[in-house]
Structure 1
Amino acid sequence: MAVDNLLERITDYANRPDPYPLYAELREAGVARQQDGSYLVGTYHDIAALLHDPRISADPRNRPGASQGMAEEGPKPPFLRLDDPEHQRLRGLAMRPFGPPHSPGRIDGMRGEIARITEELIEALKDHQQIDIVDDLAYPLPVTVICRLLGVPREDESLFRTWSDAIVASADVRAEEDAGPPEQTGPKARAEMGGYLVDLAEQRRGHPTDDMLSAFVNEPDPAKRLTDEELAATAVLLLIAGHETTVNLITNGVLTLLRHPDQLDRLRREPGLLPSAVEELLRYEPPVHMRERVPLATIEVAGTTIPRGTTLVLALAAGNRDPKRFRDPERFDPTRQDNQHLGFGSGIHLCYGAPLARIEAQIALGALIPRLGTARLLQDPPPYRRNAMLRGPRHLPIEL
């Protein structure tokens, strides 16, 4: 079959339950030019090299068709979508109240609270014969945690969930056709959420509390303060990224374990394997499947010349199952040792929240596994989210 429509087939919702045969086609091609002029890359070593290449830009303002006005007058993207040195500056400022070296104990210190929230959610389900892993655990856990971290009232969750859905839909590799024009819905939601978070932060100016929004606005060093525009972009990014990918990681984890009862039973008997099992889930069923980049110069990848300014789609999930990098890559193996996966990306844009996501997944799955002994999937495959880039079930109904 022709490979020039692979991206179209991968993003076709009909293939959301199992895109992996298409990723295998892509790896065979190495680099596949698409009908729209973009290039799709699916081999592990090429993806890793590109993620570390300073000639490859994450900034959407370098995409083909980006207007001059967008580059000069539009809002600055969050640091996830900026290049160094601006990316490094903003990421460093965002990291100060989050992790090492300035706040080394914040995330690890949340283990007890995350475990308590998890147990409360699971305890509320103890008399239920059927539950939805997404609605009952995988969504509320990371949302509660990121709200506590940022200082966002949990009762406002309905507001930011609507905004988050619109922003994530507009950021997909191919945005939903029925979700409204992405150039309108995404920026509008981002502006509204950003305004909400900046207002919330301003309420703490001069009255600091133990949360990240408060830390941002009460930073004593003027050189290390975020502008209002930077605060809005950073806070929106942290709130969305702080729960969207973790929802998929936990849900994909439960789905994978129920599809592999032998491994589920082994983890029940050997809970010490859980950290390596989470790493294997990040390889085998990653929450993020693709990333878009733009070459700032004409480059060559696997013998293919890719012109400057061309859209480049890196299929991380395809690289994660590359047999030239991983032994027996189609096998889910919680004991896998050599597992430098692309589940959190690589290079300068390695996932900012990876330590938190790992802890949440380990605690959530660790609490669930002893309770899944007789569980069964009520729908397999389950209904998936529309998003092809952030791939995961919309619901995961199981019977206990």
Structure 2
Amino acid sequence: MNAGEQWIDSEQLRALESEYYTLKRRIFDTLDPPVELDQTGPRGPAMSPSTAAPYADLPDAPEEIFACILDWKRRGPNLIRLYHQLRARAPIWQASVERMGNPWVITRYADAEVLVRNSALIKDERVLGLSGLGSGGPFIEILGRMFAFQPPPRHTRLRSLVNRGFTSRSVEKLRPQIQALVDSLIDEIEPRGRMDLVHDFAFQLPVTVICRMLGAPVEDVPRVGDWAATFARRADEGEELTPEMERVANEAAANFADWVKELIAARRAEPSDDLISRLIDVQRDAEDLSDDDIAATAILLFQAGHDTTTSMVSKGTLALLRHPEELGRLRAQPELIENATEELLRYDTPVQLTTKFAAEDIPFHDRVIREGESVSFIWAAINRDPARYAEPDRLDLTRPDIRHYSFGMGEHYCLGASLARLEIQHAIGTLVRRLPGLRLETEEPEYKTQLHLHGLVSLPVSW
């Protein structure tokens, strides 16, 4: 660990999150007991295209299948099998789910290939109205200013400005720093013989990296990490949002924005080679780019920059530990790490679902997606389409021609995809190399309840 750097108190974070999810499950299980589904899930034997669906033990009607997918109490460990079931039963289908805008649900790779490149499908602030995130307050105000929820041409212009800090060349310069940071984390953790991989490792890495990219003081990492965790929990709540959760999230959002504005003031007085300084440079020639916009952009980069990587480092490691032959292959052939990263991203997609809107009528097979209607892409189902990938539920680190949609596509392709790939490669590659005895401490790790960013609450491991 470098002098002055602090890691977030993982014990406190772990205790709070565990208490939160346990309480949530107790409350809702008493109101509506969960439906018991078959427990084999994606850890069962690999499925060929001919056996991927249908499943007699799962719902048969598309409406019921989709309801199970959206409800964490009902889907249990059956999420992937439910995706296969929905694709088989309703390959072209418009759901009747009002809170999601009655979306057209996309589960096939070929359909996604066509639709994601259609400029008439846009993502804007209407997505916030579908998310059940509440209304008003700093949290919603900041989300509304993020360019991810702005339509073209404003989205395109703001994205192009920020993109300069995430080019392949810019990201490649970070490789030595990322490897050094990974090594310092493992140096501190290794003597313990055990850790919660989510909080002690997977979360710490991207939070520290994005702080450095923004030019934030390293001593701010713990409190900024707390704000980021609160942001993620608020997004997780959806329909179950309570006044107290809204209050806490708004307080964190306001503190987050104030912190960024302090950075803006500091960089205005003393520019540096960081993302905040670059946005300030752009602001001089962009009358409509306020400090509030820069703050929202920085928070977006922070949230997007750590959520996906945290999820993939933890879920990717879990997948390898559940597939010891593939783990052994990676240990024997460390040069596989780049292709392994792509396969892990395909196999357990971090962002499961995103929604866009039709800006005009769009012909779709023998139907029409009408102007204003929503389209939900289930990336995890698309990445497991047996029409695109042979044995899609089998983890194969040598799989050829992997072209997944784990970072989206088109105008909203993940800005930090190159950075996320680099972090995942170094994190998992180094874990495999330095902790040869790494093993799971639980057979049933706890997942977050949200579907959009489907990640782990914790992952106890030892060595």
Q: TM-score, normalised by structure 1?
A: 0.89
1:30 equivalent among 91, 95, 100: 91
* Partner residue in 1 for 2:231: 167
Q: Describe the superposition over 1:43-100 as per-residue Cα deviations: whole angstroms up to 9, x where unpaired.
A: 112123222211112002378889xx99xx966432222232211100011123x134
Matched, 1:94 2:153: no
- Percent identity over the alignment is 35
Q: Describe the superposition over 1:177-230 as per-residue Cα deviations: whole angstroms up to 9, x where unpaired.
A: 155488877666445423321222111103112321122224586249942132
* Partner residue in 2 for 1:128: 192
* Partner residue in 2 for 1:348: 411
Is this contact kept in 2: 1:249–1:361, CA < 8 A?
yes
Matched, 1:277 2:344: no
Distance 1:64 1:126, change over 3 A: closer
Matching of residues 371-390 of structure 1 within 5 Å: 371-390=434-453
Is this contact kept in 2: 1:169–1:179, CA < 8 A?
no
* Partner residue in 1 for 2:7: none
Distance 1:191 1:8, change over 3 A: farther
CA distance in 2, matches of 1:262, 1:179: 45
Matching of residues 153-302 of structure 1 within 5 Å: 153-171=217-235, 175=238, 177-178=240-241, 180=243, 189-219=252-282, 222-223=285-286, 226-302=289-365
Distance 1:219 1:34, change over 3 A: closer
What is the Cα deviation at residue 290 of structure 1?
A: 0.6
Superposed CA RMSD in Å reads 2.8
Is this contact kept in 2: 1:254–1:365, CA < 8 A?
yes
* Partner residue in 2 for 1:359: 422
- For these two proteins, the number of residue pairs brought into alignment is 391
* Partner residue in 1 for 2:147: 79
Is this contact kept in 2: 1:289–1:389, CA < 8 A?
yes
Is this contact kept in 1: 2:124–2:149, CA < 8 A?
yes
What is the Cα deviation at residue 375 of structure 1?
A: 2.7
DSSP-derived class of the 1:204 partner? helix
2:116 equivalent among 43, 51, 56: 51
Higher relative contact order (CA 8 A, sep 6+): 1
* Partner residue in 2 for 1:112: 176
Residue type of the partner of 1:193? F
DSSP-derived class of the 1:335 partner? coil
DSSP-derived class of the 1:287 partner? coil
DSSP-derived class of the 1:313 partner? strand
Is this contact kept in 2: 1:16–1:388, CA < 8 A?
no
CA distance in 2, matches of 1:147, 1:65: 30
- 110-119 or 175-184, larger mean C-alpha shift: 175-184
Is this contact kept in 2: 1:57–1:294, CA < 8 A?
yes
Q: Describe the superposition over 1:160-187 as per-residue Cα deviations: whole angstroms up to 9, x where unpaired.
A: 3343334334545x71515548887766
CA distance in 2, matches of 1:65, 1:128: 44
What is the Cα deviation at residue 9 of structure 1?
A: 1.4
DSSP-derived class of the 1:314 partner? strand
Gaps spanning 5+ residues in structure 1: where? none
CA distance in 2, matches of 1:189, 1:308: 36
Matched, 1:2 2:67: no
Distance 1:46 1:256, change over 3 A: same
* Partner residue in 1 for 2:47: none
CA distance in 1, matches of 2:226, 2:156: 30
Is this contact kept in 1: 2:166–2:419, CA < 8 A?
no
What is the Cα deviation at residue 293 of structure 1?
A: 1.2
Residue type of the partner of 1:27? R
Matched, 1:393 2:456: yes
Distance 1:186 1:348, change over 3 A: farther
CA distance in 1, matches of 2:178, 2:162: 22
Residue type of the partner of 2:364? V
Matched, 1:311 2:374: yes
Is this contact kept in 2: 1:17–1:384, CA < 8 A?
no
CA distance in 2, matches of 1:245, 1:341: 15
CA distance in 1, matches of 2:262, 2:369: 44
CA distance in 2, matches of 1:81, 1:56: 13
Is this contact kept in 1: 2:166–2:418, CA < 8 A?
no
Distance 1:94 1:113, change over 3 A: same
CA distance in 1, matches of 2:107, 2:345: 16
Distance 1:65 1:95, change over 3 A: closer
CA distance in 2, matches of 1:135, 1:63: 28
Q: TM-score, normalised by structure 2?
A: 0.77
Distance 1:18 1:151, change over 3 A: farther
Distance 1:9 1:181, change over 3 A: farther
CA distance in 2, matches of 1:30, 1:22: 13
Q: Describe the superposition over 1:286-344 as per-residue Cα deviations: whole angstroms up to 9, x where unpaired.
A: 11111011122233434444333233221011000001111221111111121110011
